[in-house]
A = this chain, B = another copy of it.
């Protein structure tokens, strides 16, 4: 099941070392100006080789659209697209052909499918997220028309934490540095932390914070498909993600109800809340306040140093992967988090039309 979404749907395809990564965007309304430069720019934020702290695989990552766009505008018909793979070093993986790399999907894929494409992780490669970034960019173009904005940034790398809440940050500064943390001083420490990990042939995890503004009250669903449940599902579907919290999150479990409740006050022709522990969502439905959430990423499993494991015949073996890998997934994951949020919000935006009379 490689389809995400109910009304605005992405069906993705492609492996790390196959011809390319692509997908079909279905349910896009007609008449949306498809800003090719913007989409390409989003891909550039995700692309390998973009800085000294990312993998040095060189991929132009140019998207090619096949359908659904005519004279620059969406037609309401499915948008097929692909990004072709160029800089594949499939031979880097020959030694790993019959080995289960620790904390990778090698073993579980084989158990599920009875076969696997060992080259670069095949379908389980993070390269698959290209399709999400393209579709998410189209989602952002739709959401932009109704004033919804999605921004994410790196708020923790290993033990280096950005302590300020998002309200105290200038999120427009996120792209000013290679780690994508809007606080430059913290960014510098994060970069140093990633470089240290790289020098040790080790990796480091962290947290990305997402902020969504401009969502009107009334988007979401009350029971299973709560807005935050769909956001959590989207984020947990990104490789290496181990946790999701929104609003007050895990920390909110330590507050009393009287501390946690967000008091309503009149505001112009509507209402607002004084605090926002709810994270902009109450009963699964947006209340008009900012939506914010945090996503936990484990350290990447591919280490460029010797590790013990077993092969398909259950022999203990030692591996020492070469390949080209990120010491930290966080900087490149920022546009992916935004893209998944965009897919969810676009879906709920379109669904909100079903209730208008």
Also in contact, A102 and B233, with CB within 8 A (given A24-B13, A114-B31):
no
A61 within 8 A of B: no
CB distance from A242 to the nearest CB of B (A): 5
Also in contact, A303 and B257, with CB within 8 A (given A4-B224, A223-B123, A242-B248):
yes
A257 and B108 contacting across the interface, CB-CB below 8 Å: no
Give the residue name and chain of the B residue nearest to A5 (CB).
Answer: B224
B236 and A242 contacting across the interface, CB-CB below 8 Å: no
Also in contact, A300 and B107, with CB within 8 A (given A100-B271, A114-B357):
no
A13 and B296 contacting across the interface, CB-CB below 8 Å: no
The 6 closest A-B CB pairs, nearest first, are A105-B283, A243-B245, A203-B257, A13-B80, A108-B285, A111-B218
B3 and A224 contacting across the interface, CB-CB below 8 Å: yes
CB distance from A357 to the nearest CB of B (A): 6
CB distance from A305 to the nearest CB of B (A): 7
A342 within 8 A of B: no
From B66, B226, B258, contact of A14 by CB (8 A): B66
Which segment, of A42-50, A172-180, A182-190, A306-314, faces chain B? A306-314
A148 within 8 A of B: no
Number of copies: 4
From B2, B205, B315, contact of A223 by CB (8 A): B2
Also in contact, A108 and B260, with CB within 8 A (given A223-B123, A297-B253):
no
Q: How far is the CA of A300 from the CA of B258 in the complex (A)?
A: 9
CB distance from A110 to the nearest CB of B (A): 9
- A to B CB contacts below 8 Å, 18 in the list: A20-B66, A75-B122, A77-B123, A80-B82, A108-B218, A108-B284, A109-B285, A111-B287, A202-B256, A203-B257, A225-B237, A229-B234, A250-B296, A252-B296, A255-B299, A256-B299, A265-B310, A350-B354
